[in-house]
A and B are shown apart, each in its own frame.
Chain A
Amino acid sequence: MAAKALRRLGVFAVCLLGASLVVFLISNWLPGDVAQVMLGTDATPEALARVRAELGLDQPLWLRYFAWIGGLLTGNLGTSPLSHYPVWELLAPRVAVTLWLVVLGIGLSILIALPLGMYAALRRRHLGGFAVSGLAQIGMAVPVFWGGILLALVFAVWLRWLPANGYVPLTRDPAGWAAHLALPVLTLGLVQAAVLVRYVRSAFVEVLHEDYLRTARAIGWSEFRALLRHGVRNAAISLVTVVGLQLAAALVGAIVVEQVFTLPGIGSLLLDAVSKRDLVVVQATVMLLVLAVLAINYRVDVSYLLIDPRQRSRGAAPEGRA
Chain B
Amino acid sequence: MLAVEHLTVAFGRRPPAVRDISFAIPEGGRLGIIGASGSGKSVTALAIMGLLPEYARVGGSVKLGGAELVGLPDHEYSKLRGDALTMVFQEPMTALDPTMRVGRQIAEAYRLHAQGSKARDEVLRVLAAVGMPDPARVADSYPHELSGGQRQRALTAMAVINRPGLVVFDEPTTALDMLVQAQVLEMIDGLLRATGASCLFISHDIAVVAQLCAHILVMQDGQAVEQGETGQLLRAPRHPYTQALVAAARKGAVRG
Contacts and interface: CB of A to CB of B under 8 A. Distances in A.
Interface residues of A, number: 29
B94 A221 contact: no
Contacts of A237: 99
Main SS of the interface on chain A? helix
Contacts of A216: 97, 108
B144 A316 contact: yes
Given A219-B158, A313-B144, 20 more contacts: A212-B98, A214-B51, A214-B89, A215-B89, A215-B158, A216-B97, A217-B51, A217-B78, A217-B81, A218-B86, A219-B81, A220-B83, A220-B113, A222-B75, A234-B97, A234-B99, A307-B99, A313-B145, A317-B144, A319-B93
B97 A219 contact: no
A203 to B, nearest CB: 14
Contact of A218 (B79, B81, B142): B81
Given A218-B51, A221-B78, A211 B95 contact: yes
B247 interface: no
Contacts of B134: none
B177 interface: no
A254 B71 CA distance: 52
A212 B86 contact: no
A320 B98 CA distance: 9
A310 interface: yes
Contacts of A320: 98, 144
Contacts, number: 88
A230 interface: yes
Interface in A300-316: 307-310, 313, 316
A172 interface: no
A316 B98 CA distance: 13
Contacts of A220: 78-83, 109, 112-113
Could you say which of A125, A222, A237, A316 has the most chain B C-beta atoms within 10 Å of its C-beta? A222
Interface of A: 125, 210-212, 214-223, 225, 229-230, 233-234, 237, 307-310, 313, 316-317, 319-320
A9 B88 CA distance: 44
Interface of B: 49, 51, 54-55, 74-75, 78-83, 86-87, 89, 91, 93-100, 108-109, 112-113, 142, 144-145, 155, 158-159
Contact of B74 (A214, A223, A230): A223
Nearest to B141: A309
Contacts of A307: 99
Contacts of B94: 210-212
Contact of B159 (A219, A221, A229): A219
Nearest to B87: A218
A118 to B, nearest CB: 17
Nearest to B113: A220
Nearest to A208: B53
A214 B170 CA distance: 13
A308 B98 contact: yes
27 contacts: A210-B94, A211-B95, A212-B96, A215-B96, A215-B158, A218-B51, A218-B81, A218-B82, A218-B87, A218-B89, A218-B159, A219-B81, A220-B109, A220-B113, A221-B78, A221-B112, A222-B78, A225-B78, A233-B99, A234-B97, A234-B98, A308-B99, A310-B142, A313-B144, A316-B144, A317-B144, A320-B98
A218 B97 CA distance: 13
Nearest to B144: A310
